[in-house]
Amino acid sequence: MLARHLADLADVRNAGTLLALAGAPPARDPFVEGGRRLSLAALRSLAAVGDGAAVRAGVAAALRVPEAALARGGHAESALERAALVPLLREARLRPLSIAVPLAWLFARRAEVRRISLLLRGTALGLAADEVLDLAEA
């Protein structure tokens, strides 16, 4: 179960890297090995496409996240985190005495801390309340 979760985290990290490249092929291989849904070969072929929309479509299909959420930076990060959290929550429900329960709790606390920091930073920067709320709920 822990190995599956770590593989999901590798997929999320690699998907974030692909999205950050925005369709530009990398000079060297920036990917982390060990993903479950995005193999190194799939990552390399997506990176070679050179089209940001095609990369978003490939990542969305592989990780089962909405493609529209991957088009915006803050929303993409949240969607990718949910892609790792959903299998962990499912595992925690199916096996309540497993390590999945504390891992899911830690993952949720980390997301909560990130949302609170986003709210505080957005308020400190003077962003409109609806913009900050939109980012926090992404």
pLDDT digit string (tens) for the chain, length 138 residues:
888 888 888 988 888 888 888 767 777 778 888 888 988 888 888 888 877 888 889 899 999 998 888 887 777 888 888 888 899 999 999 999 999 999 999 988 988 888 888 888 888 888 888 888 777 776
Domain enclosing residue 120, as ranges: 2-137
Q: What is the pLDDT of residue 138?
A: 62
CB-based contact 23:54 (threshold 8 Å): yes
pLDDT value for 111: 84
First to last CA, the chain: 27
Q: Which amino acid is at 90?
A: R
**Domain total of the chain:** 1
Asked if 22 and 51 count as a contact pair (C-beta separation under 8 A), the reply is: no
Q: For the whole prediction, is pTM greater than 0.85? A: no
pLDDT of residue 104: 92
| CB of 95 closer than 8 Å to CB of 1 | yes
